[in-house]
C-alpha cells in the first residue's frame, strides 16, 4: 500500500487525547513509512509545567521548539530518505500552545526564536487533523494519558480544542483532511482505519472532511 502520489511527509495532528500518536503508528505500518514521534518524556520541564503552568510554560515551550526543529530539519533534504515519513506532530502548530500559556513578554521572546528557526523546517505534503469535543478529549486523557496529563481539566482542553480549530481554519501550508474522530476508532476497528485510508488516497482538493456522523 502506498501513500497518495506526491506525499512523502504526512503529519497527524490534534489536541491531547485526539489519538494522533496511535493513528500515526498505524499509518506508518500500513504505508511502510518511517515514524517520527514527539518525545515528551525527554522534556525535563513538562511534569512541572502541568503542576504550575505559569512558572514553567516558557522553558517547556522552548524545549519542545528546539526538539521539533532537530527532528524535522533533516526532512528538508528529501533525497536522503528512501521511505516516506509520518509524524504525530506539525511544526507550524507549535505557537498555538505558546499563545495559550505564555505571558506577553515571554510570548514575544518565543516568537522571535520561532521566527528564526521556522525556515529550517519543511512543510508536510499532507496533514490529518483529528477533531473531537472537549468532553471526549477529557475522557480519553483520563483513560490513556501519561500520569501528569490526567489532571488536565476540561476547561483547559476546551481552550486547546478551540485553539486547534482556529489554527486549522486558517492553515494553508499543506493539504488537510479534517477528521471528526468522535465516532471513529482507528486502533481497534479495522473498518474505520480502512475508510480513513480510502479517504486519504482519494483526496482531490487541499481541504476535505471525513465524518461518519
Using one digit for the tens of pLDDT, what is the confidence trace for 63-108? 999 999 999 999 988 666 678 999 999 999 999 999 999 999 999 9
pLDDT of residue 213: 61
pLDDT of residue 44: 96
The model's pTM is 0.91
pLDDT of residue 145: 57
pLDDT of residue 133: 87
* Residues pairing with 9 in the sheet: 85
d(C-alpha 102, C-alpha 61), whole Å: 9
pLDDT of residue 58: 97
pLDDT of residue 66: 97
pLDDT of residue 167: 94
Domains of the chain: 9-210 (3.40.50.300)
pLDDT of residue 135: 86
Question: Minimal CA–CA distance to 24: which of 39, 35, 40, 9?
Answer: 35
pLDDT of residue 149: 65
pLDDT of residue 148: 60
Instruction: Map residue 126 onto helix, strand or coil.
Output: strand
Could you write out the DSSP letters of every residue in 20-87? HHHHHHHHHHHTT-EEE---GGG-TTHHHHHH-HHHHHHHHHHHHHHHHHHHHGGGG-GGG-SS-EEE
Q: Tens place of pLDDT for every residue, the chain, 213 residues?
A: 778 788 999 999 999 888 999 999 999 999 999 999 999 899 999 989 988 989 999 999 999 999 999 999 999 886 666 789 999 999 999 999 999 999 999 999 999 999 999 999 999 999 999 998 888 888 888 776 566 666 667 788 888 889 999 999 999 999 999 999 888 888 889 999 999 999 999 998 999 999 876
Amino acid at each position: 500500500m502506498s501513500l497518495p502520489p506526491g506525499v512523502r511527509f504526512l503529519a497527524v495532528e490534534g489536541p491531547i487525547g485526539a489519538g494522533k500518536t496511535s493513528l500515526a503508528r498505524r499509518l506508518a505500518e500500513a504505508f511502510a513509512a518511517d515514524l517520527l514521534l514527539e518525545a515528551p518524556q525527554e522534556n525535563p520541564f513538562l511534569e512541572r509545567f502541568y503542576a504550575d503552568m505559569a512558572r514553567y510554560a516558557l522553558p517547556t515551550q522552548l524545549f519542545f521548539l528546539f526538539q521539533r526543529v532537530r527532528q524535522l530539519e533533516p526532512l528538508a533534504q528529501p533525497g536522503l530518505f528512501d521511505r516516506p515519513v509520518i509524524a504525530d506532530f506539525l511544526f507550524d502548530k507549535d505557537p498555538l500552545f505558546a499563545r495559550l500559556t505564555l505571558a506577553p513578554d515571554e510570548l514575544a521572546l518565543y516568537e522571535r526564536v520561532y521566527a528564526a528557526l521556522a525556515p529550517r523546517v519543511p512543510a508536510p505534503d499532507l496533514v490529518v487533523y483529528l477533531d473531537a469535543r472537549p468532553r471526549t478529549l477529557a475522557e480519553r486523557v483520563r483513560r490513556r494519558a501519561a500520569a501528569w496529563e490526567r489532571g488536565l481539566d476540561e476547561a483547559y482542553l476546551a481552550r486547546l480544542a478551540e485553539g486547534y480549530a482556529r489554527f486549522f481554519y486558517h492553515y494553508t501550508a499543506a493539504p488537510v483532511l479534517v477528521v471528526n474522530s468522535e465516532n471513529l476508532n482507528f486502533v481497534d476497528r479495522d473498518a474505520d482505519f480502512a475508510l480513513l485510508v480510502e479517504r486519504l488516497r482519494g483526496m482531490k482538493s487541499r481541504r476535505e472532511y471525513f465524518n461518519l456522523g
